[in-house]
Amino acid sequence: MASRSSKSRMVFNVVNYLFLMLMAILCVLPLINVLATSLSSSSAATAGQVTFWPVEFTLKSYEFMLNKPEFLRSVWITVQRVVLGTVVSMGLTLLIAFPLSKTSSRFRFRTLYVWLFVFTILFNGGLVPWYLTIRNLGLLDSIWALVLPGAVPVFNVILLINFFRGLPRELDEAALIDGAGHWGTLWRIYVPLSLPAMATLVLLTVVGHWNSWFDGLILMNSPTNYPLSTYLQTVIVSQNLTTLTADQMKDLAELSNRTVQSAQIFLAALPILLLYPFLQKYFVKGLTLGAVKG
Amino acid sequence: MKKKTPSKLLMSVLMCTLILGACSTAEENQGNITPPPTEGAAGEQTEAAEGDQDPLGKYEPPITITSIRDVGASVKFVEGESIDNNDWTREIEEALGVKIKNEWTTSSGEQYNQKLNVTIASNQLPDLFVVGSTQLKMLADGDQVEDLTQVYEAYASPKVRELLDPYLQSATIDGKLLAIPNVSSVLAGTSDVIWVRTDWLTNLGLAEPQTMDDLLKIAQAFTTQDPDQNKKDDTFGIAAEKGLFGYPSLTGFFNGFHAYPNSWIKNDAGELVFGGIQPEVKEALGVLQELYKTGQIDREFGVKDTTKVNESVTSGKVGIWIGPTWAPFFPLQDLKNNVPESEWKAFPILSIDDQPAKAQMPNPISNFFTVKKGMAHPEVVVKLMNLYVDRSFINTDFSRFGAHDGVEPWHYPLVQTLNPDTDIVYAVNVEKAIADNNADSLVPTEKEIFNKITKYQAGDNTFWADKVVNDARVVISEQWKNDLIMADQFVGAPTETMGAKSAALTKLISEAYTSIIMGGDINTFDEFVTNWNTLGGSDITAEVNAWYANTQK
Amino acid sequence: MKFKTYFSELPLHLMILPGLITVLIFQYIPMAGLTIAFQKFHPVKGMFNSDWIGLDNFKYVLAMPDFGQVLWNTVFIAVMKIIAGLIAPIVVALLLNEVRVSAFKRSVQTLIYLPHFLSWVILGGVLINILSPSEGIVNQFLNMLGLESVFFLGDNSVFPFVLVFSDVWKEFGFGTILYLAALTGVNPALYEAAVIDGANRWKQTLHITIPGIFPIIILLATLSLGNVLNAGFDQVFNLYNSSVYKSGDILDTYIYRLLLDNAQFSVATAVGLFKSLVSFALIGLSYVLAYRFANYRIF
């Protein structure tokens, strides 16, 4: 390589690294602010005095959250829904994306099926019919109410279809020659090659389940069955203070706590922070793609 | 759309009967309620009717009814107890033979509302449940709740009649009583007082305000004369939030100019008009504009919500806060914790002229107890109310139902009610007890307050809020006594046009007021009034007056 | 012959079956609720017996004051978000792709995903602080450059851009993940060949990388078209105020205030149906165009 291009390359690198670093810092600053607020005293937090370092350090807000048995119970519910939900979703996603990634000549009706699924992310009948359907299936208060309704994440399916289509056609043919049926092709060839895509989808699914609170509220009849995000929701103070009843005003005085809100945010983000780096090692470039040539 | 009830005449007669009955026992009320102007129906001679059924008749065999509850974070239970298992549930079962089963519960009011809306829309109603006025209208339109007129008439105890009759209007739609109203302690809860930072007054050598002019001078001093003496120009006079009438509220400010925004008031001709379009509002807006221009109101108030505005208080930037009597709990106590020298005092609404100003009081009814249509025992709601009122006002038993062991059992019963001035009455009693240094005649709720104040007086600043809140309530009680409260005259269910247009009208009001305050031409106010009327305001006024005329019959 | 083809395709149908059943039960059955949009919904009568009023709900929405302005705001803000929200993650993914230090790359990847977890309730407060005309960092910076302070959250000419910019900042991490994952699928042999041919990194990016992730760019662009009427309720709700209703009030916030005062399910369903139809039309159109002119099926 000519020395000129390596110099310009170096300049580019420096600028690039600086830019990315700046951006990353900008992205993390608010979370640091949240963390610092959660570790500060209530008066300092309400006065807006906390920037990036705790003021009057205290663990009170975390104690408050963690001491409640409802908290631990809700964590367990969320763990269940995340595990069950991810397994079911990923399984269904794979099963649907594989056939639909084939061309129309190899799989008639493929386009019809695709539109059947896409339709469901465009049109929905609204909250009440959704609620009634789930209720009539007897799923209220059950973990399956949190897992089944969203079991087919069509967006993920489309992403995976796209990814599968990017895999070389020769794979299919090679598999056919080896005598593998569709099932074999899927499990023994496509899945191992899709690790980056699957890691991505697992992350998206986990995040989705972890943060989903509205279905927990509507479909669970007792707060003892709330998943974590629904439970944490009770701690966030309503914006609309003009409609409070006397009781709610008392709740406000007791709970309206910037520090507790902040602890909640942080606890909600924490698992993903821990999960993401773990999944990142699957995003390895060019994984076994070369194997086809051999 | 309005169906004529077959016996409309009978209904009117019943109404008059009930109202007359309420008049005669008004003085015995625990809290000196002045019934709203639905009283004095001329010409009817019938006596106060005694229900012809046993108000506390027990169900044999016992019945089970379904309900739904919000059990908020402030509701605490003794070990082993819960919302389904406590002194009140046992009492209700023993005395009335009624068991209440909750189909679902939530842990915050907001969640309750969300689930309630889904419950109503999917018609999965429990037997007996609590709703707000919008939902009541929804249920009425959907014909989903029982008409309680007959059962109330037959079963309500005299004490319940005394407490609730003046408010039945709010729950009556098309002449039918569709719910039992829940009266909230709205004077202490919502009417405004003017909180002023008195340590700043001392620092600047200023006297306490007696009039609105005094207050305006103080606001200016707070803004320009460095009242916290930190050599920085970082303070300002009056706190305001972007919605204007939320928390803190500018309602109290307007009240000082005899303006009553968002309220229905009677004009000289005896008709009801909307307070928000009256000329007094224009005057108040003009003054607010001046304050904004000179920085006496935060120049960024237009983007700040309550939480953000609270920051100005807790960081010691603002000296005047207009809000309800409980403002010290949130957020003033936070400032006290930070800055022990800070001191706040509540003042009644101060007047701009020689006419004393009145504090605006909204409709005390915001919650209703409704019964699902077709339910087998609709009278159970009346009986439950009878029981609650009996055990709370007549045959009281504070060992079980008064505060004890860190729990407040008054949260537990589903069906309950208060008076608009409940907390005010407590405050007055507590004040007397403190002056006499004698707590013997206090009920447990009052004793709790008394104890907290005593602790504060002994030096514990964490109870500062309890003391000043109590003082504020005494201030309001003075106004109540001297008839310096302007009650909202419209206490019915939302009318047809209200439902359709109030969102648009609220937006109009918000935009108009805010733009004037932030410097717009004051004369756009007149344009605003015209728009308000065209957009649906005049239709609503007509409907409100029709309702009013109806209640006067 | 035909039978044999169908038979060989049978496993494929079977694979789809469980997902199809799930979707039929939980998505298609509730879709019957769309009929509420054409009814005067009465909870007791339910959706099968409520009065049919045809297009009245739609007419009601169209006749609402400010509807035109609200609709315009919605489209304007949404389109800008779609465009900016497409470009930003691509650029960042490409830049990250050039990073060789794996630890740095991984940290940046993780950190830029973080704003996604902060709710607009919190971010609203943060933005009010930093955009404050008197004390906010952004304006202080502008002042340093000799520019006047801008009242970002109170000025109609600036507010929509604040919405777009802050939303992109919050969500670009998500898109970046997807593009980075797609980038791993680009055949390294192509790069090797390009280097041999003497192409510099920029040319490689232009001719290999971007075309390599073109399918996913098209896919995400098409799907985001479905959001053209979703300008972001949560964000606008937490950031707007009456001074910026003119430019910031969107369809969803308007409907929200309508529902608060008078829960009108029929109207809400009608608006939802309207939005779905527009999304469907746009996505369908893109799909058909791509197929007709490029023989490419987007999905």
Structure tokens at C222: 């098409």
Distance CA A156, CA A207 (A): 13
Chain A neighbours among B 512-531 (CB < 8 Å)? none
Task: Answer whether the bond into residue A99 is a cis peptide, omega within 30°.
Answer: no
C 20-79 → A contacts, CB under 8 A: 20, 22-23, 25-34, 36, 47
Residues paired with A124 in a beta bridge: none
Collect all residues with Cβ–Cβ distance below 8 Å to C286 and sequence separation of at least 6: C222, C225, C298
Number of neighbouring beta carbons within 10 Å of residue C292? 9
What is the C-alpha radius of gyration for chain B, rounded to an integer number of angstroms? 24
Please identify among residues 267-296 of chain C the ones whose CB lies closer than 8 Å to any CB of chain A.
268-269, 272-273, 276, 279-280, 283
Instruction: Check B243 against A242: CB less than 8 A apart.
Output: yes
Tell me phi and psi for residue A113, to 5 degrees. -60, -45
Q: B329 and chain A: CB distance < 8 Å anywhere?
A: yes
Check the CA dihedral C50-C52-C53-C54 and report its sign: positive
Q: Give the C-alpha separation, C67 to A250, whole Å.
A: 39
CA dist., res. B179 & res. B370, Å (int): 5
Superfamily of domain A60-291: MetI-like (1.10.3720.10)
Assign A5 a pLDDT band (cuts: 50, 70, 90): low
Q: How many CA atoms lie within 13 A of B336 on its CB side?
A: 23
ipTM of the predicted structure? 0.83
Q: Beta B318-323 vs B236-238: how paired, if at all?
A: parallel
**Strand B172-173, strand B176-177: pairing:** antiparallel
What kind and span of H or E run contains C49? helix C46-49
- Rounded distance, CA A70 to CA A231, Å? 8
When pLDDT is averaged across residues A239-258 and rounded to a whole number, the result is 53
What separation in angstroms does the CA of A190 have from each of A206, B356, C183, C212? 22, 82, 18, 19
Distance from CA of B368 to the nearest CA of C (A): 16
Q: How far apart are CA A54 and CA A61, in angstroms?
A: 13
Per-residue pLDDT of chain B (553 residues; tens, 9 = 90+): 333 333 333 233 333 333 332 322 222 233 333 333 333 333 333 334 456 788 888 998 999 999 999 987 778 888 889 999 999 999 999 999 999 999 999 988 878 888 898 898 888 899 999 998 888 888 888 889 999 999 999 999 999 999 999 889 889 888 899 999 999 888 888 899 999 999 999 999 999 999 999 999 999 999 999 888 888 888 999 999 988 988 899 999 999 999 999 999 999 998 999 999 999 999 999 999 999 999 999 988 988 888 788 888 888 899 999 999 988 888 888 888 888 899 999 999 999 999 999 999 988 888 899 999 999 999 999 999 999 999 888 888 888 888 777 788 888 999 999 888 888 999 999 999 999 988 888 888 888 889 889 999 998 888 899 999 999 999 999 999 999 999 999 988 888 888 778 878 888 999 999 999 998 899 999 999 999 999 889 999 999 999 888 877 6
Amino acid identity of B350? L
The candidate with the shortest Cα–Cα distance to C155, out of C257, C251, C248, C231, is C248
> Which residue in A18, A27, A288 sits closest to C173, CA to CA?
A27
Q: Report the residue count for chain A.
A: 294
Supply the Cα-derived Rg of chain A in whole angstroms: 24
Q: What is the largest CA-CA distance in chain C?
A: 79
Q: Which of B124, B183, B307, B502 to mutate to test the interface with A (most CBs of A within 10 A)?
A: B307
User: Residues 90..149 of C with a Cβ closer than 8 Å to B: which?
Assistant: 124-125, 128, 132-134
| Pairing outcome for strands B318-323 and B193-197 | antiparallel
Phi and psi of A19, rounded to 5°?
-60, -50
DSSP B399-451: HHHS-BTTB-GGGS-SS----TTHHHHHHHHHHHHHHHT--TT--HHHHHHHH
Residue A293, pLDDT score: 34
Size of interface A-C (CB pairs under 8 A): 230
Give the DSSP letter of residue B299. T
Residue B302: how many other CB atoms lie within 10 Å: 24
pLDDT in the model for residue C75: 92
User: How far is Cα A41 from Cα A55, in angstroms, rounded to an integer?
Assistant: 7
CB of B111 closer than 8 Å to CB of B118: no
Q: Which whole-number Å values give the CA distances from C191 to A196, C233, C249, in the listed order?
A: 20, 43, 48
From start to end of B54-145, where are the E strands? 63-70, 98-106, 128-132
C141/A contact by beta carbon, under 8 A? no
Q: Provide the b/e sequence for B259-278 (b: ≥16 CB within 10 Å).
A: bbbbbbbeeeeeebbbbbbb
Q: Residue C193 corresponds to which amino acid?
A: A
CA C282 to chain centre: 14
Q: A196 to each of B161, B323, C86, how far by Cα in Å?
A: 71, 57, 21
Domain segments of chain A as ranges: 2-46, 60-291
Across the interface, of C27, C181, C238, the residue whose CB is closest to A124 is C27
Coil, helix or strand for B348?
A: coil
**A33 closest CB neighbour out of C104, C116, C126:** C126
Q: How buried is residue B210: exposed, middle or buried, by Cβ count under 10 Å (0-12/13-18/19+)?
A: exposed
C263 vs B134, B143, B507: nearest CB: B134
The segments of chain C whose pLDDT lies below 50 read none
List, in sequence order, the alpha helices (H) in C157-264.
159-183, 188-196, 201-204, 210-225, 233-239, 245-248, 251-261
Q: Subunits touching B (CB < 8 Å, at least 3 pairs)? A: A, C
Question: How close A56 gets to chain B, by Cα (Å)?
Answer: 11
Tell me the torsion sign for CA atoms C100, C101, C102, C104.
negative
Residue B10: per-residue pLDDT = 29
What are B181's strand-pairing partners?
B368
Count of CB atoms situated within 10 Å of the CB of B544: 21
Predicted pLDDT of residue A58: 84
Interval A186-221: pLDDT, tens:
888 888 888 888 888 998 899 889 888 889 999 999
Mutate to test the interface with C, among A93, A124, A157, A243 (most CBs of C within 10 A): A124
Nearest CB neighbour to C258, from listed B299, B503, B515: B503
Total residues found in chain C within this entry: 299
Q: Give the pLDDT score at B223.
A: 93
- Three-state DSSP at B30 gives coil
Q: How many CB pairs under 8 A join A and B?
A: 112
Query: Domain C56-294 sits in which CATH superfamily?
Result: MetI-like (1.10.3720.10)
| Listed residue (B335, B28, B8, B348) closest to B176, CA to CA | B8
Cα B252–chain centre separation = 15
Residue B302: both structure tokens together:
């237009």
The pLDDT-based confidence of A279 (bands split at 50, 70, 90) is confident
Q: Which residue type sits at B355?
A: Q
Euclidean distance between CA atoms C106 and C90, whole angstroms? 17
Of A128, A132, A272, nearest to C265 by CB-CB distance is: A128
CA distance B61 to B68: 23
Mean confidence (pLDDT) of chain A: 81
Distance from CA of C136 to the nearest CA of B (A): 11
Is A235's pLDDT higher than 70?
no
Report the chain C residue with the minimal C-alpha distance to residue A89: C19
CB of B174 closer than 8 Å to CB of B139? no
Q: How do the domains of chain C map onto residue ranges?
A: 56-294
pLDDT band at A95 (very low <50, low <70, confident <90, very high): very high
Contacts of C26 in chain A (CB under 8 A): 130, 133-134, 148-151
Inter-chain CB proximity C43 and B123 less than 8 Å? yes
Give A203's contacts (C-beta < 8 A, 6+ positions apart).
A272, A275, A276, A279, C177
What are the backbone dihedrals phi and psi of residue A105, each rounded to the nearest 5 degrees, phi first? -70, -25
Contact between B475 and B431 under an 8 Å Cβ cutoff? The reply is no
